[in-house]
């Protein structure tokens, strides 16, 4: 392997690539067999949905797709560490996060089919819309985390004034970014701001080794996790292809955040086993053999090996069938998505339509109708 700042340091690891537990940890005690089985099903489903979406793009049904192949453990392990009250800010590759959070699979594809500017109601699953502007979501996340702090301080008083029952569950913010976004000004401002106010935020950086075609090693002379020390909060590298380790590390970081111990940077050391997007050709820049190296570290195979002693072939078959069915459903639902009416944006900007907006809508309709002969 020729990329990455230190090739043999995969960070915290609880499950070895061969599926065995690291000797000093009883991994099943941390997540439980049922928890691990759940992760397996979710990762498998994410991979099948991702493949279906890639095929849809190649068939002209999506403008673009952003494959997540290889990053299933980083996404499922981390999102499963978040509570329903935690608020999640994804970047743009976090499909497994969105799907596991309960968002219907097809909702993510609407954006990439070009029929919506956003996609979903962020409040429905405490999941913000995708941020296509690199690292912008880190600032949104820190802002939201500061809001949570204010809520915690002022909440009881406001609740009393409003006459509603208080005692909300403590929550934190989980924000996703990539190794490329770590070089953005926004990300670094977010780190400074989070540290200054001890904000309840976990920065979850999926280091997939490639910022499009720029290797992570060129972007950082130190492991990305080590940068956190400079901002004054803990940074941890975790084996991003080890769902157990990711879940464990993220759980503990979110727990710290919820009790007021401040931000954490997690670097999930993983690999993008495909193109940056469907418009990219990674064979032009990835060194030969790199993909093979990481294929041997596949996050799903690893869990399959770990579960082999406790699950039979029928169970694995069921999981595959469910994942395939979800992919087939996604395909059917995507092809059935209606195009939005041309004036849909009048419905999506203002909660209450103003007189001016009403006039603009009428004028726009008239203009549209003037195309009819």
| 211/96 Cα distance (integer angstroms) | 20
Helices (H), the chain: 27-31, 33-58, 72-79, 95-100, 105-112, 136-162, 185-196, 216-219, 227-231, 243-258, 290-295, 299-307, 313-335, 345-349, 355-369
Is position 367 an interface residue for other proteins (rule: CB under 8 A)?
Answer: yes
Cα 1 to chain centroid distance, Å, stands at: 26
User: Could you say which of 63, 85, 222, 321 contacts other proteins (CB under 8 A)?
Assistant: 63
Is position 334 an interface residue for other proteins (rule: CB under 8 A)?
Answer: no
User: Could you say which of 2, 6, 7, 59 contacts other proteins (CB under 8 A)?
Assistant: 59
| 125/127 Cα distance (integer angstroms) | 5
Is position 55 an interface residue for other proteins (rule: CB under 8 A)?
Answer: yes
Between 61 and 301, CB nearer to other proteins: 61
- Torsional sign, CA 101, 106, 111, 115: negative
Q: Are 85 and 168 in contact (CB under 8 A)?
A: yes
Is position 52 an interface residue for other proteins (rule: CB under 8 A)?
Answer: yes
- Torsional sign, CA 296, 300, 304, 305: positive
Is position 336 an interface residue for other proteins (rule: CB under 8 A)?
Answer: no
Residue 325 C-beta: closest distance to other proteins, Å:
13
Residue 281 C-beta: closest distance to other proteins, Å:
3
User: Could you say which of 151, 159, 261, 280 contacts other proteins (CB under 8 A)?
Assistant: 280
Is position 196 an interface residue for other proteins (rule: CB under 8 A)?
Answer: no
The DSSP secondary structure of 224-265, one letter per residue, reads GGGHHHHHTS-EEEEETT-HHHHHHHHHHHHHHHHTT---EE
| 84/76 Cα distance (integer angstroms) | 14
User: Could you say which of 18, 121, 281, 347 contacts other proteins (CB under 8 A)?
Assistant: 281
Between 126 and 278, CB nearer to other proteins: 278
Site for other proteins in 138-167 (CB under 8 A): none
Between 45 and 101, CB nearer to other proteins: 45
Between 129 and 334, CB nearer to other proteins: 334
Residue 363 C-beta: closest distance to other proteins, Å:
13
User: Could you say which of 11, 180, 275, 299 contacts other proteins (CB under 8 A)?
Assistant: 275
| 140/186 Cα distance (integer angstroms) | 10
Between 23 and 369, CB nearer to other proteins: 369
Specify which residues 265 forms β-bridges with.
203, 235
User: Could you say which of 162, 163, 283, 354 contacts other proteins (CB under 8 A)?
Assistant: 283
Is position 9 an interface residue for other proteins (rule: CB under 8 A)?
Answer: no
Is position 371 an interface residue for other proteins (rule: CB under 8 A)?
Answer: yes
Number of residues that bind other proteins (CB under 8 A): 22
Q: Which helix (H) or strand (E) holds 132?
A: none
Residue 51 C-beta: closest distance to other proteins, Å:
8
Stretch of 10-18, 49-57, 79-87, 146-154 lying at the interface with other proteins (CB under 8 A):
49-57
Instruction: Report residue 192 as tokens.
Output: 């400074």
Q: Are 257 and 264 in contact (CB under 8 A)?
A: yes
Residue 216 C-beta: closest distance to other proteins, Å:
22
Is position 60 an interface residue for other proteins (rule: CB under 8 A)?
Answer: yes
| 210/3 Cα distance (integer angstroms) | 8
Is position 64 an interface residue for other proteins (rule: CB under 8 A)?
Answer: yes
- The residue ranges that bind other proteins (CB under 8 A) are 51-52, 55, 57-61, 63-64, 275, 278-281, 283-284, 331, 367, 370-371, 373
């Amino acid at each position: 392997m020729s990329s990455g700042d230190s090739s043999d340091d995969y960070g915290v690891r609880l499950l070895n690539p061969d599926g065995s537990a690291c000797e000093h940890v009883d991994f099943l005690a941390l997540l439980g067999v049922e928890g691990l089985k759940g992760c397996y099903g979710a990762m498998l489903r994410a991979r099948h949905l991702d493949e279906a979406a890639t095929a849809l793009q190649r068939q002209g049904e999506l403008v673009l797709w952003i494959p997540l192949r290889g990053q299933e453990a980083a996404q499922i392990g981390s999102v499963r560490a978040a509570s329903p009250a935690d608020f999640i800010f994804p970047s743009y590759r976090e499909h497994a996060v969105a799907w596991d959070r309960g968002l219907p699979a097809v909702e993510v594809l609407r954006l990439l089919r070009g029929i919506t500017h956003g996609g979903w109601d962020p409040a429905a699953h405490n999941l913000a819309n995708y941020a296509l502007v690199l690292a912008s979501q880190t600032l949104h996340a820190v802002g939201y985390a500061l809001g949570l702090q204010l809520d915690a301080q002022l909440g009881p008083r406001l609740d009393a004034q409003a006459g509603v029952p208080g005692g909300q569950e403590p929550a934190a913010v989980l924000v996703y970014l990539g190794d490329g976004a770590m070089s953005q000004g926004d990300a670094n401002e977010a780190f400074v701001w989070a540290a200054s106010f001890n904000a309840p935020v976990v920065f979850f950086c999926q280091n997939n080794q490639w910022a499009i075609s720029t290797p992570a090693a060129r972007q950082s002379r130190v492991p990305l996790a080590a940068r956190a020390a400079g901002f004054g909060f803990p940074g941890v590298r975790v084996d991003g292809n080890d769902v157990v380790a990711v879940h464990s590390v993220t759980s503990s970081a979110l727990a710290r955040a919820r009790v007021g111990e401040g931000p954490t940077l997690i670097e999930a050391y993983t690999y993008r086993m495909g193109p940056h997007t469907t418009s990219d050709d990674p064979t032009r820049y990835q060194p030969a053999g790199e993909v093979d190296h990481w294929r041997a570290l596949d996050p799903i195979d690893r869990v399959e090996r770990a579960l082999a002693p406790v699950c039979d072939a029928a169970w694995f078959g069921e999981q595959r069938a469910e994942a395939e069915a979800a992919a087939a459903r996604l395909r059917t639902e995507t092809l059935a998505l209606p195009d939005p009416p041309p004036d849909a944006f009048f419905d999506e900007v203002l909660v209450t339509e103003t007189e001016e907006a009403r006039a603009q809508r009428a004028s726009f309709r008239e203009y549209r109708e003037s195309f009819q002969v």
